[in-house]
Amino acid sequence: MQKDHCGSCSTDKNAQKQQQQDMEKLKKRLKDIHHTIVVLSGKGGVGKSTVAANLAVGLALEGYKVGLLDVDVHGPSIPRLLNLKLEKPIVKNSGIQPVMWDNTLKVMSLGFLLPDDKEAVIWRGPLKMGVIKQFLEDVDWGELDFLVVDCPPGTGDEPLSVMQLIGSSAYALVVTTPQAVALDDVRKSITFCRRLNNPVIGVIENMSGFICPKCKEVVDIFKSGGGMKMAHEMNVNFLGSIPIDPEIVMSGDEGEVFIKSHPDSETSKYFREIVKKVVEEIRKFEEEKAKKAKEKPKIEKIDKKELKIAIPIADGKLCNHFGHCEQFAFAYVDQENKKIKKIEYLDSPPHEPGVIPRWIAEQGTDLVIAGGMGQKAMDLLNQHGIKVIVGAKGEKPEDIVRNYLKGTLEIGENVCEH
């Protein structure tokens, strides 16, 4: 094995170990959160935070254990919508304690940490990523049935950070309004989720018609039905429409969650129906996932006599986190005779976007066998013509390669989807 020869190599190695420890800490925290719902919209001003707050409270009213995370760094709305602007989280040994709403909902927002609501947050991407990571990693969420995440509009740093940190187990819920200009941007949100391999629960059309406060007649100010049509075009579920109701606006300004403060209103009935559909769609996704997990994965053989196989390792064993390994074992194999000719070990390059897949390609690699890997890394390796097997089980790289050659390699779940 190669030895470290300089201080910078040692620093890189320590940084990789720290990254791996952070990933393990995050994974441990997230394992008690059964389902994460990320509320997205490609367009601002569509009432996404209102939908997120009512969805979270609606789930809590159904008896579920729920958390609500506001990651809109520049314009956190959740503290106002829940009348929690004066609340401050406390820190215990178990982590940052989320603020409780009505003793039923755990809430965390950057708005709780700002000195006042006039404070401007002027941060670039890495700082945003850091605070979102801390909210997921250091907040003592406890066991939750659902964590609802309210993201700012667009497909920028915040939603990207959430999806990358949680992985492809995070469900997306997309909010739009009926106008064509909003629908155009919302299509991009759905494409964004698909590129990250995150399932989309469905689309909600907000501000779909106006309910007159006097006669209760519904008038299509912005027209309606665009969200349903767009959902069908994009092949995602349409979960329902929510009309413009003046009571929703007043409830939000007063810090009252509409679905709880106006339980008998027609609009609350729409919200409750959507809550039921969200739970049902997640159940369907989970059943499909369980069905696929029972199916034995097929390992496609590479039609070459000789192969070069790369395996990420840490402490001489298979590393579950592809991007955070210490070294790569490169096995030169005679596939025709099912023999390992030699194995060499090379220190992994820095964990930076795109660096490791490019470096692996430069080594002339044909196949990567890993315990877990994010979709982006898989896509980059495939672009270089390198086949990928994830979910591999085993410890020593030579045993993993022998099992691959014999056709007895065990494949399970992708243990690291970040």
* Complete DSSP assignment for 45-106: TS-HHHHHHHHHHHHHHTT--EEEEE--SSS--HHHHTT-TT---EEETTEEEPEEETTTEE
Compute CA distances 57 → 47, 65, 104, 214, whole Å. 16, 10, 8, 27
Do residues 383 and 404 touch, judged by C-beta distance below 8 A?
no
Residue 361's CATH number: 3.30.420.130
DSSP per-residue codes, 149-202: EEPPSSSSHHHHHHHHHH-TT-EEEEEE-SSHHHHHHHHHHHHHHHHTTPPEEE
Distance CA 328, CA 356 (A): 10
pLDDT grade, residue 360 (50/70/90)? very high
DSSP 13-56: HHHHHHHHHHHHHHHHHHTTEEEEEEEE-SSTTS-HHHHHHHHH
Closest by CA position to 246, among listed 205, 207, 203: 207
Claim to verify: residue 290 and residue 303 sit in the same structural domain:
no
Residue of higher predicted confidence among 54 and 121:
54
Q: Are 363 and 310 in contact (CB under 8 A)?
A: yes
For residue 414, what are the contacts with CB-CB under 8 A and spacing of at least 6? Answer: 372, 373, 390, 391
Q: Which of 350, 348, 353 is nearest to 370 (CA)?
A: 348
Tokens 């997990």, located at residue: 293
- Both 284 and 341 in one domain: the answer is no
Mean pLDDT of 226-239: 88
Q: Does some domain include residue 37?
A: yes
290 and 304 in a single domain? The answer is no
**379-401: average pLDDT:** 90
Per-residue pLDDT reduced to its tens digit, 152-164? 776 666 778 888 7
Give the best-scoring range by mean pLDDT among 59-68, 73-82, 287-296, 344-353.
59-68
Q: Say whether both 274 and 370 belong to one domain.
A: no
pLDDT band at residue 114 under the 50/70/90 scheme: confident
Q: How confident is the model at residue 11, as a pLDDT?
A: 55
> Same domain, yes or no, for 252 and 323?
no
Residues 99, 107: contact at Cβ < 8 Å?
yes
Q: Give a yes or no: residue 26 inside a domain.
A: no
pLDDT over 70 at 52, yes or no: yes
Q: Is position 17 within any domain? A: no
Identity (one letter) of the amino acid at 237? Answer: N
Mean pLDDT of the 356-383 span: 90
pLDDT of 221 = 66
Report residue 140's pLDDT band, with 50, 70 and 90 as the boundaries: very high
Could you tell me if 233 and 373 lie in one domain? no
Please check whether residue 60 lies inside any domain of the structure: yes
User: pLDDT (tens digit, 9 = 90+) per residue, 255-281?
Assistant: 899 999 999 988 899 999 999 999 999
pLDDT at 375: 75
Domain match, 255 and 305 both: no
Predicted local distance difference test score (pLDDT) of residue 402: 94
Residue 196: inside a domain: yes
Q: What is the structure's pLDDT at 263?
A: 92
Amino acid at 412: G
When pLDDT is cut at 50, 70 and 90, the band that residue 178 belongs to is confident
Q: Provide the residue count of the chain.
A: 418
| Reported confidence tier of residue 3, pLDDT bands at 50, 70, 90 | very low
- Rounded distance between C-alpha atoms, residue 238 and residue 288, angstroms: 19
CA gap 30, 69 in Å, rounded: 13
- Mean residue pLDDT of the chain comes to 85
Question: Which neighbouring-strand residues pair with 149?
Answer: 38, 69
Q: How far is CA 399 from CA 39, 76, 317, 410, in A?
A: 44, 51, 10, 11
Structure tokens at 146: 């659902």
Looking at the chain, the whole-number percentage of residues with pLDDT higher than 90 is 41
**Domain finish residue from 256, 271, 294:** 294
Confidence grade of residue 1 (pLDDT, cut at 50, 70, 90): very low
**pLDDT classification of 313: cutoffs 50, 70, 90:** very high
Pairwise pLDDT comparison (158 vs 142), residue with the higher score: 142
Give the ranges where 102-154 is alpha helix by DSSP (H). Answer: 125-137
* The total number of structural domains that make up the chain: 2
- Structural domain ending residue among the three candidates 261, 294, 327: 294
**Residue 406 phi, psi (nearest 5):** -85, -10
Q: Is residue 10, in this structure, part of any structural domain at all? A: no
Same domain for 124 and 254, yes or no, is: yes
pLDDT, tens digit (0-9, with 9 covering 90-100), for 179-206: 766 678 788 889 888 888 889 999 999 8
Structural domain boundaries enclosing 378: 299-406
Question: Within a domain: residue 160?
Answer: yes
Residue 54 has pLDDT above 90, yes or no: yes
Last residue of a domain, one of 294, 309, 343: 294
Query: Can you tell me the mean pLDDT for 336-343?
Result: 93
* 23 domain residue, yes or no: no
Q: Where are the beta strands (DSSP E) in 273-326?
A: 306-314, 317-318
Query: Which pLDDT does position 388 carry in this prediction?
Result: 93
Asked if 70 and 214 sit in the same domain, the reply is yes
**Residues 313, 265 within the same domain:** no
Most confident range, picked from 93-107, 316-330, 347-361: 93-107
- Same domain for 105 and 207? yes
- Asked if 262 and 148 sit in the same domain, the reply is yes
pTM for the structure as a whole:
0.74
Instruction: Indicate whether 282 pLDDT > 60.
Output: yes
Q: Looking at the predicted structure, is the pLDDT value of residue 297 above 70?
A: no
State the CATH number of the domain containing residue 140: 3.40.50.300
Average pLDDT of the segment spanning 377-400 = 90
